Amino acid sequence: MSTPGVALITGASAGLGEEMARQLAALGWDLALCARRVEPLEALATELRGLGRRVHVAALDVTDTDAVHAVVEGTVAALGRLDRVIVNAGIGLGAPVGSGRADANLATLQTNVVGAMAQCEAAMAVFREQGHGHLVLIGSVAGVRGMAGAGTAYAASKAAVGAIGEGLRAERVPGVDVTVLHPGYIRTAINDFGKGAPFAVDVEPGVAEMVKLIEKRVGVAYVPRWPWAVVARVLGAAPLSVVRRMTS
């Protein structure tokens, strides 16, 4: 298990990021919490400071690459170190390509791909200089294969996140661990998936499994392992006609 230090979490105002902050704080981690809106972060920070944790809060739009670097550097200045960055900020907008909603698809790619790369650039710059660190990227089972209709941009964005993580793992930067997690359906206050999502789990147990894997510094994992590791393998090998039926 990791020795607690300082972890920066983007997209920490709700959903997976908020619950990860709570669970990491319970393990002894000090935290930098980032999101577009600061108000929810301040309430969460107050809660976590009550546990004795140091918490730094920063407004951040991950599509602003200069702001990403400034927030990472500001975390080091405020908390004295940076040991882990969790690239969690993302959106799931989307529409069939060419249907007149290019804005939604481009926004998803801008946030989930360009924003993720900006976070990796800023984090890895710090980790390379100090000789240690842990980069965590939150992908999705949706990134295993291309998806039709409204899911095309989102699936493509999460495939890109997985590829970024794999490239960094292949590089094996001395002292730096890279973890890529691909969750399935995890219900949160902002995304309950409705009744049609198979194998959906609640946010607390879902994030607990994610945090366990993060603390172990695994390379790549699907969350929860059952059934998503099997689903991912099937999706990866199945003909496109089968994938179409499985993801429609």
Residue carrying the six token digits 């399935």? 184
Cα separations (Å) of 159 from 140, 155, 166, 234? 8, 6, 11, 16
Q: Is 184 helix (H, G, I), strand (E, B) or coil?
A: coil
Distance CA 33, CA 42 (A): 9
222 is catalytic: no
Catalytic residue chosen out of the listed positions 29, 154, 185, 222: 154
Distance CA 161, CA 34 (A): 19
**203-216 and 15-26 are packed helices; what angle lies between their axes, rounded to 10 degrees?**
60
Catalytic residue list: 154
